[in-house]
Structure 1
């Protein structure tokens, strides 16, 4: 009897570090934050500190092994106990040979026959519990995972660009509004000043005209002749 472990990895096999980081963050959000699942690779360990999984290849078996928790292609995330198997080491080896024939590399399918499906089948043969549902809830792995992450990055970048653009437009609007307000205030001041100047000019003309006419009449001591009054007005 020996304990069987499921090793779970984040699918970080993209050539882009940003994409891989996006996948890790997405898995944290969906798995840890929401309990939904994520984009994972899994492998089963039973005896000898070696883990077994399944992947695509053109010819031969898709079943392969590597040291436990040490798959160099992905990023190790966590280990889950699936219980204990009553099978002997030799029987487990025989099961792996059988699975190797049943799971050729070319039969790999992202949705219906991926590494998580293999681990479930292997665990069933070992007589242990099934994988937690969240491990394979998003069956899209490999290239599909990369595409999802890249699409997410593009959308985040676009959202950031839109936000920056909107902010710039808002700043311009505020500046224009302030400028327009200043211009309006300045124009208002100019109009007021102009009006005051016009009023002042009218007032000056009134001062110049009225008193002169008034004085010319007063200087006569009487209304006098129309010619004298007209002459007094003409001097203005």
Structure 2
């Protein structure tokens, strides 16, 4: 096999090494998720993680070959938080897909580092938890009546919408968290500057005035639901073609 033909390495496609010490892969993954949730991807290194586990970095390399493999493991571990997709049913496919999308967004907001990672780790989606979610989503579109070739595109479109909006939300919420303020306080502090900057843009001022007394989280939730409904409207229209 030439270098060009060599398959891409993945933690999921090589044998798991025998455990010869107390430190386990599960402990490493749990500590990595905690570190990522607290400090983000920039803080994750094998040396830093080993320090948190009171273990040498070399001990971690017995379980994962490198940082990329560790990211594959932690991403799939977080996917394990999602509820198993409902049994596929043609009459309830839209409700089931809505729940999957809503749960995926909630997962991404609990772990703000994950959304940007999903597009960067080529084989992360072959972990067992990610495969279970993806397969369940495809089953819903199949039950709805999408042909084989199109159900993959439908699932990709839905996932791209959720991950895209969750990436933006996660960055916004992370900035607020670093400020030490609540989202309500953050928005209130920005309002005078927005009012001044939008003085010559009445359409922007009208939209902001209509939502001035609405809690920021409710605005985000409603915006997500609106976009999701429009995506599903477009996909549902394909069933009538």
TM > 0.5: no
TM-score, length basis structure 1 = 0.21
Pick the structure with more helix per residue: 2
Which structure: larger Rg? 1
Pick the structure with more strand per residue: 1
Between the two structures, name the one with larger relative contact order (CA 8 Å, sep ≥ 6): 1
